[in-house]
Amino acid sequence: MASFRMLRFLLLLVLSTTNVLILHPVGTYANSTTNAKQRHKPLFVFGDSAFDPGNNQYLDGMEKGPAYYSPYGQHFFAGTTGRHSDGRIVPDFIAQNANLSLIPPCLETGANFTNGVSFASAGAGVFSDLPGVMNLEQQMMKFDEIKEWFVQKFGDVKSRKALKRAVYVFGFGGKEYLSLYFNGHNISKTYQRQYAEMVVRNLTNAVLELYNAGGRKFGFQNVGPLGCLPMLKAKKPELKDACIEELMSMARKHNKILAGTLKRLGEYMPGLKYSIFDHYNSLLDRINSATNYGFEEGKAACYQNEPEALNGMNWGGNNWMEQYTLCHNSSRYIFFDGMHTTESANSQIAELMWDGPPSTTQPWTLKQLFEL
């Protein structure tokens, strides 16, 4: 308990500084460990709809959303599962690269969690607000239950070692800034920064809890170019090819604060290793130059419906099932729906997270973390 209080003190110390430090690549560590004997390393996933493999269907009182019906999952071998894509999502590809089976939802009854668990929940954020959704705090509570599952299956010593070898991947933040944008107008730059610091503080509190449980290896997908989402562009046709700068600015603030905070935490917490994937610039490059990455369309969604265009995330009951249009070949699109990327785009994103260059993924890659 004392050590955990000390970690929280260090977090407050880190967040109190206004200087954001620059990350530096670690060089060619992976080359020196490629042939090392690999031990089993679970993958634990925390996040929102982009990472959710279908947890929400198990929540009490939660009606199944659009992702549990066609045309979602049309390229996924099991059909519709709650994944917000036409096929696999980013954690599916990461698990594949790590030689793990698909990571099951934490709420799936009777699932085998030996290879890891996904706590991600569509609509989740780092703050407590939406009913029927597992926010970050609730996902951490479910992690405590999974720890007990590991102890019962492997015993105290082996479960502790498994948690230390595991890689913990986070995909949070977008919901907070979309909510701030929709609920407030002319928000000052000062408040935007304070808000971003609160978001990052909640994220790093989770890191401290996992670190105290034995976790040492963490991966982060930073906040993407929110102002370019097709859902939002449909609400502001006057923007044409431009994106909503206020949302873009919020995302950049978050990403800068996250990078600086993790850098300083790494200096205080022995053994902590982390990877930050630059989702913002990687996805923005593909949106603006889709053909350079093998796509035909980078700005419009493959799957479009009227309620989505008019009401943001309000699907208007079940009317969406009858009021949509679908592109001929989703693999040629970056966005499947108004917020989420296609399997083809997810594959590229996952590869960058797994073994991308220092310009996109640093100071470690996920591949390097799994090889530790």
List active site positions: 49, 337, 340
SS (H, E, C) 73-134: CCCCCCCCCCCCCCCCCHHHHHHHHCCCCCCCECCCCCCCCCCEEECCCCCCCCCCCCCCCC
Q: In the chain, at which residue ranges do the beta strands (DSSP E only) sit? A: 43-47, 116-118, 167-171, 217-221, 273-277, 297-301, 303-305, 324-326, 333-335, 361-363
Rounded Cα distance, 45 and 51, in Å: 7
DSSP state of 332: G
Quickly count: other Cβ atoms within 10 Å of residue 150's Cβ.
21
C-alpha to C-alpha distances, 10 to 48, 178, 331, nearest whole angstrom = 27, 30, 45
Cis previous bond, 53, omega within 30: no
C-alpha to C-alpha distances, 168 to 163, 253, 272, 283, 347, nearest whole angstrom = 9, 23, 12, 22, 19
Rounded Cα distance, 155 and 150, in Å: 7
Nearest-Å Rg of the Cα atoms of the chain is 20
DSSP state of 21: P
Rounded Cα distance, 110 and 272, in Å: 32
H or E element that contains 188: none
User: Nearest Cα to 42, choosing from 98, 80, 119?
Assistant: 98
DSSP state of 341: B
C-alpha to C-alpha distances, 261 to 10, 19, 268, 272, 290, nearest whole angstrom = 11, 9, 11, 13, 32
Q: What SS3 state is found at 305?
A: strand
